[in-house]
């Protein structure tokens, strides 16, 4: 358990760093596009596509960090009314389902990546498959963080947030 926490807390911190870097990059590239167009009458054509790749990275890494820190919105008022034992098993089910979702993201993005590999993103010349890379990594993180929660539940411990 301890080595797992060491790995996942580091993973989640790195996910957060990547998401923050992508958000900062997103800001820079969009402002750069505005300045180039407005001041120099020379709009860089690739801004839109780069920005789209960055925003999906912010989203997937941010969402993954949200899984570890239990940041996603859910309905817990009904589960709260159950007996502690039932509540425990509901919680286990939630974590198992989250693992399943992560695996589905992973598998689906691999499939999509393979089927769109030969197409190119306009104005970038990059393969369309790159669009699915953040989803693939996000899927892995979703699964890993949910497994950590699962183990923590059985061990009777809490997952300590790696950032606030």
Site residues for another protein, 38-77, by CB under 8 A, read: 38, 41-43, 45, 47-49, 51-52, 55-56, 58-66, 69, 71-77
For the bound state, the minimum distance from the C-beta of residue 3 to another protein, rounded and expressed in Å, comes to: 25
- 1-9, 33-41, 152-160 -> range binding another protein (CB under 8 A): 33-41
Write out the two tokens for 79: 């589960």
Binding flag, residue 37, another protein (CB under 8 A): yes
**Site for another protein (CB under 8 A): how many residues?**
73
74 versus 84: smaller Cβ distance to another protein: 74
CB atoms within 10 A of CB 163: 12
Q: Which of 4, 6, 10, 111 binds another protein (CB under 8 A)?
A: 111
Question: Is residue 42 within a helix (H) or strand (E), and if so which, with residue range?
Answer: none
Is residue 154 within 8 A of residue 124, CB to CB? The reply is no
* Closest among 64, 58, 59 to 99, alpha carbons compared: 64
Write out the two tokens for 32: 């750069």
For the bound state, the minimum distance from the C-beta of residue 157 to another protein, rounded and expressed in Å, comes to: 19
Is residue 153 within 8 A of residue 91, CB to CB? The reply is yes
Interaction residues for another protein, span 82-101 (CB under 8 A):
90-91, 93-94, 97-98, 100-101
Write out the two tokens for 68: 């570890």
């Amino acid at each position: 358990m301890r080595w797992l926490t060491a790995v996942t807390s580091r993973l989640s911190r790195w996910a957060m760093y990547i998401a923050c870097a992508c958000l900062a990059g997103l800001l820079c590239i969009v402002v750069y596009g505005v300045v180039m167009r407005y001041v120099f009458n020379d709009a860089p054509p690739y801004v839109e596509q780069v920005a789209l790749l960055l925003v999906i990275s912010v989203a997937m890494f941010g969402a993954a960090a949200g899984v570890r820190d239990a940041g996603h919105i859910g309905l817990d008022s009904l589960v709260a009314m159950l007996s502690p034992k039932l509540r425990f098993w509901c919680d286990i089910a939630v974590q198992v389902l989250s693992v399943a979702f992560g695996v589905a993201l992973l598998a689906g993005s691999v499939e999509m990546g393979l089927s769109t590999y030969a197409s190119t993103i306009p104005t970038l010349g990059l393969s369309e498959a790159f669009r699915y890379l953040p989803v693939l990594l996000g899927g892995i993180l979703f699964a890993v963080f949910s497994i950590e929660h699962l183990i923590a539940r059985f061990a009777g411990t809490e997952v300590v947030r790696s950032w606030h």
